[in-house]
Every structure is written in C-alpha cells, then in structure tokens.
C-alpha cells in the first residue's frame, strides 16, 4: 500500500523531471561543451577539449570584472532588502483590501522590461530632462548636471528593478507571521522597534536570505542597465558575455564566461545556504 503510493508519487514527478532535463540540462551541457571546444581550420569552432577560453578568462581584467559583478549584485541585494523589508512588514499591517491593491501595483512594475527601465532612468538622470533640474528649482544646485553614466546610476536603476521582486518574495513569510508572537513581545514590554528586530526579523530569516540570494542571481544577469547607465568600468560580466556572443561572435569564450558566471552564483548560493542553517 505504502509502496504503491510512493510509486504513484514518483510517477507524478516524471513529467516535471523530463521538462527540467530537456529545458535546463541540455542547454547547460551544450554551453559546457562549447566552452571547451577547439577552433576548426576555417576559424569556426568544433567539438573537442581545450581550456584556452578559461585561460583567457584567468587574467586580472576578467577576474576583476567577475568580482566587481558579484560585489555590485551583493550590494543591490542588500539595498533592495533594506527598502523592501520594512515596507513589506508595514504592508502586512494594512487591511486586506489595500494589501491587494498594493500587491497589484507592485506586480505591475514587474511588467516593465529592463530596457524600458534603463532608458527611463537615463532620461531621469540626464542634464536636460532630469531630476537635477528639480534640485536647481529648489535651490540645492546652481546648475543642472547629468548624473549618468555613473556607478550610482547603475546601482539606483538595478535596485529599482529588484525591489518589487524582494517585496513579492518577502510577502508570503511576513503575511503568515504569527501575530501572537508580536503581541507576546509587546505585552512583555518590548517597544515596536525592539519587537521588529528581535522577533519579526529572526522569525523571517529564511525568507530574507532566499530573497537576497534571488535578487543577487537576478541582477547578475542584467545587461542593459550597466551598459546604458554605466561607463565601461561598470560593465558587468553579463555585458561582456553579450559582447562576445553577439558582436565578436566568439561563442566558445562567451560560453566559458557564462560557465564562470554560473559557478559564481552557484557558489554564492551554496555558501549562503550553508551558513544560514541549510534551509
């Protein structure tokens, strides 16, 4: 009887496993194979084994790019959590109707593409049409100035991109939070602030961590924002991958960089999961 039910359960898993096999595993294997391919006589590439593309990566320029990308995305994950967490906590205190309206509003932000966001921020931060003019109007600046391209512009636009995701990832945990825990803390004399830091945050720690990691991985793949709003020194590894794949048509090197990026995000996920108690 029990054996039968576990068999049915495994049977139910087959379609999803096959899907994952085809749509995730096969492209990954292809990328892996391309990243170690060898050049053919005609300048094309062919099946083989060579580490030359990884050797090309192993120069300070590319390693520095990889570290910069990881650092930038970690900072974005941190900033978007700092914005999204208190907001989501407040949101769960609202009535059900306004909660729904807020969630719809935030979901709608997700429909904006990275391209739209990048170009909107470009205008917003420009000298002629940008917020610098408002600073002039209120007397904070003497003359309008451009705020892009700069590291700050890249950071601001990517945080903007990431905040709705953080809210949606944090919302389930915070909305299911047992209210009696807060009440207990309050009746025992803790201030709302203390309750927030010593009760609410520790209880929702897994959600904070998974949200942070998701944002990290998500922004690691951003291409348009760093390119449009940043200078070349702010271009991430993903921008360089696109350059190699689309403009230089060096698929093997693009694949090698992609494998590195994948390894980078996998190791970050692994480390975070290990040190956060393995959930």
Residues found near other proteins in the complex (CB under 8 A): 42-44, 56, 59, 61, 122, 126-129, 146, 149, 224, 227-228, 231-233, 235, 240, 243-244, 246-250, 253
Phi-psi region of 94 (alpha: psi -120 to 50; beta: other; left: phi over 0): beta
Alpha helix segments (H runs only) across the chain? 2-20, 26-35, 52-57, 60-93, 96-110, 114-124, 132-137, 151-175, 179-187, 192-195, 201-203, 205-220, 224-229, 237-242, 251-275
CB 216 within 8 A of CB 77: yes
**How near is the Cβ of 274 to other proteins at its closest, in Å?**
34
**How near is the Cβ of 61 to other proteins at its closest, in Å?**
5
**How near is the Cβ of 68 to other proteins at its closest, in Å?**
10
Which lies closer to other proteins via its Cβ, residue 127 or residue 194? 127
Which lies closer to other proteins via its Cβ, residue 212 or residue 226? 226
Which lies closer to other proteins via its Cβ, residue 24 or residue 249? 249
Q: Find the Cα–Cα–Cα–Cα dihedral 44, 48, 52, 56, rounded to 10°.
A: 60
**How near is the Cβ of 223 to other proteins at its closest, in Å?**
9
CB 201 within 8 A of CB 208: yes
**Omega of the bond leading into 80 within 30 degrees of 0 (cis):** no
**How near is the Cβ of 74 to other proteins at its closest, in Å?**
20
Which lies closer to other proteins via its Cβ, residue 43 or residue 189? 43
Beta bridge partners of 89: none
**How near is the Cβ of 116 to other proteins at its closest, in Å?**
12
Which lies closer to other proteins via its Cβ, residue 164 or residue 252? 252
Q: What are phi and psi of 46, to 5 degrees?
A: -145, 165
Closest to 238 (Cα-Cα) out of 119, 107, 55, 114:
114
Helix, strand or coil for residue 34?
Answer: helix
Which lies closer to other proteins via its Cβ, residue 98 or residue 113? 113
**How near is the Cβ of 6 to other proteins at its closest, in Å?**
43
CB 81 within 8 A of CB 166: yes
Which lies closer to other proteins via its Cβ, residue 198 or residue 248? 248
């Amino acid at each position: 009887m029990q054996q039968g039910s576990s068999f049915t359960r495994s049977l139910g898993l087959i379609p999803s496993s096959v899907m994952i096999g085809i749509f995730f595993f096969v492209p990954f294997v292809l990328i892996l194979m391309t990243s170690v391919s060898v050049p053919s006589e005609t300048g094309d590439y062919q099946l083989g084994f060579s580490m030359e593309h990884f050797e090309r990566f192993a120069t300070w320029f590319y390693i520095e790019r990889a570290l910069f990308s990881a650092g930038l995305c970690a900072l974005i994950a941190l900033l978007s959590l700092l914005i999204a967490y208190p907001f989501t906590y407040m949101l769960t205190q609202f009535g059900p109707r306004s909660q729904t309206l807020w969630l719809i509003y935030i979901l709608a932000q997700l429909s904006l593409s990275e391209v739209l966001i990048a170009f909107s921020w470009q205008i917003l931060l420009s000298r002629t049409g940008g917020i610098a003019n408002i600073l002039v109007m209120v007397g904070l600046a003497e003359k309008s100035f451009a705020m892009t391209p700069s590291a700050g512009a890249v950071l601001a636009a990517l945080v903007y991109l990431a905040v709705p995701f953080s809210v949606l990832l944090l919302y389930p945990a915070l909305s299911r939070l047992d209210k009696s825990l807060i009440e207990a803390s309050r009746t025992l004399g803790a201030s709302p602030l203390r309750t927030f830091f010593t009760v609410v945050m520790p209880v929702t720690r897994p959600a904070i961590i998974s949200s942070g990691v998701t944002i990290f991985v998500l922004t690691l793949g951003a291409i348009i924002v760093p390119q449009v709003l940043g200078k070349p020194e702010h271009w991430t590894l993903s921008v360089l991958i696109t350059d190699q794949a689309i403009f230089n048509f060096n698929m093997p090197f693009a694949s090698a960089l992609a494998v590195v990026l994948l390894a980078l995000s996998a190791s970050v996920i692994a480390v975070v999961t290990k040190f956060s108690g393995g959930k």
